[in-house]
């Protein structure tokens, strides 16, 4: 007899660390109610520790490389070879674990490149009939809307969601923003959407004593793969400031910053007074807690940590014609007065130096966010799994008693 139901969680990170960090935070909460097996499709940096009690199944890692090309991170495998092994391992793990819940991060709203492995995986789970698991999607707050064929993408994602999924879990609040702001298919989405609150490590932690703030700016770029320009520009901008303007600076490069770029920063930082360069940190919130201001991109995890720290912050969102998620998050938070934004098209040394001079005088408006998503998600999934097996009359009673989110 199992002491707890089993949950199989698929996570794929391709460019940054955000998806993996959020998935690890979810896993820590999920282990309170489930036996958790994590299917991880990208490399795991040494700085990130696998949550206790989580069994890891490492898929042959695929993702974006330093040159921006989709690649296999296992030198022994080509991309096609890795895809074949991944498809087999996904289905084999599903059959071995026999989970009560399958949780899939982002797909089908993103990760279109991985449909060839996820559709067979989900089809296998659905074939189990009455014995099949609850199948849920784990989503961040804002979806990308910069694709050339966005309408076709949304329509395809909606049809896949309606066919394979029982629930959509959006790790945000309904007001900031609702899913339909960044997802607009023609076909109605029939799958129930549940808002869990935001997910950050120790998101509910509010009782720590205020730290002594140092006269220091923390510059971070998430995983670092697309952060070289921001880090390099910040280092040069620091040199332009007069002694009475200059803050100490901590540069956090990120584990995926290419070695060549890190070595260049390391060489230049040695000659820069008051600059500390770190490859990565286990917890960004600890760095922000003792700093006086922050410069970063505007990914899901970093922006939440900045808001929780309550310090003056400047964001330079990562943006391409196809990737607009960070830009839209930045604009929303700027409009709320929570932080300052510099358009990445204007990022240069003199402009960033001016921003560094002004940033300590900026007073951010406090944004009260629900950060209990990591604790609320396991409770919700446990209830949805139980409801799925209920006869309709009992399900109606549960809903009438407040059982549905």
CA–CA separation, 364 and 338 (whole Å): 5
Q: What's the pLDDT tens digit per position in 272-322?
A: 999 999 999 988 999 999 999 999 999 999 999 999 999 999 999 999 888
* pLDDT computed for residue 405 by the predictor: 43
Predicted TM-score (pTM) of the model is 0.90
CATH superfamily, region 216-361:
Glycogen Phosphorylase B; (3.40.50.2000)
- What tokens appear for 392 in the block? 């309709």
Spell out the alpha helix ranges (H) of 199-348: 228-240, 259-270, 284-289, 300-309, 325-335
CATH, domain range 6-204+371-400: 3.40.50.2000
Whether the CB-CB separation of 74 and 43 falls below 8 Å is answered with no
Give the pLDDT band of residue 18 (cuts 50, 70, 90): confident
pLDDT-derived band of residue 203, with 50, 70 and 90 as boundaries?
A: low
Specify the pLDDT at position 2.
Answer: 65
User: Residues 346-376: pLDDT tens digits?
Assistant: 999 999 999 999 999 999 999 989 999 999 9
Q: For the chain, give every residue range classified as CATH 3.40.50.2000.
A: 6-204+371-400, 216-361
Asked if 105 and 11 touch (Cβ cutoff 8 Å), the reply is yes
pLDDT surpassing 50 at residue 396: no
């Amino acid at each position: 007899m199992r002491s707890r139901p089993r949950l199989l969680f698929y996570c794929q990170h391709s460019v940054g660390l955000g998806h993996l960090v959020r998935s690890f935070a979810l896993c820590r909460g999920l282990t309170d109610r489930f036996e958790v097996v994590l299917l991880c499709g990208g490399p795991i940096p040494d700085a990130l520790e696998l949550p206790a009690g989580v069994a890891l199944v490492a898929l042959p890692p695929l993702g974006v490389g330093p040159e921006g090309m989709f690649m296999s991170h296992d030198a022994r495998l080509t991309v096609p070879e890795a895809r074949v092994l991944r498809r087999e391992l996904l289905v084999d793990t599903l059959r071995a674990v026999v989970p009560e819940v399958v949780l899939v991060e982002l797909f089908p709203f993103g990760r279109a490149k991985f449909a060839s492995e996820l559709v067979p995986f989900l089809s296998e789970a659905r074939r189990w009939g009455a014995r099949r698991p609850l199948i849920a999607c784990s989503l961040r707050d804002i979806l990308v809307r910069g694709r050339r064929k966005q309408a076709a993408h949304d329509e395809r994602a909606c049809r896949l969601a309606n066919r394979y999924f029982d629930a959509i879990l959006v790790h945000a609040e309904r007001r900031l923003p609702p899913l339909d702001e960044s997802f607009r298919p023609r076909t109605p989405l029939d799958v129930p959407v549940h808002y869990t609150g935001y997910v950050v490590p120790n998101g509910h932690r509010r009782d720590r004593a205020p730290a002594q703030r140092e006269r220091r700016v923390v510059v971070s770029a998430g995983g670092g793969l697309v952060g070289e320009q921001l880090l390099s520009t910040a280092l040069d901008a620091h040199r332009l400031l007069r002694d009475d303007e200059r803050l100490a600076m901590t540069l956090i490069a990120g584990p995926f910053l290419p070695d060549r770029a890190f070595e260049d920063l390391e060489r230049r930082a040695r000659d820069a007074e008051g600059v500390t360069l770190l490859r990565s940190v286990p917890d960004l919130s600890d760095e922000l807690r003792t700093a006086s201001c922050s410069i970063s991109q505007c990914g899901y995890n970093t922006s939440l940590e900045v808001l929780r720290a309550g310090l003056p912050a400047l964001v330079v969102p990562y943006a391409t014609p196809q990737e607009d998620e960070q830009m839209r998050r930045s604009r929303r938070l700027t409009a709320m007065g929570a932080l300052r934004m510099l358009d990445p098209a204007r990022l240069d040394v003199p402009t960033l130096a001016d921003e560094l001079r002004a940033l300590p005088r900026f007073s951010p408006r406090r944004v009260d966010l629900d950060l209990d998503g990591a604790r609320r998600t396991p409770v919700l999934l446990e209830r949805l799994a139980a409801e799925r097996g209920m006869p309709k009359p009992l399900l109606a009673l549960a809903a009438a008693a407040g059982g549905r989110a």
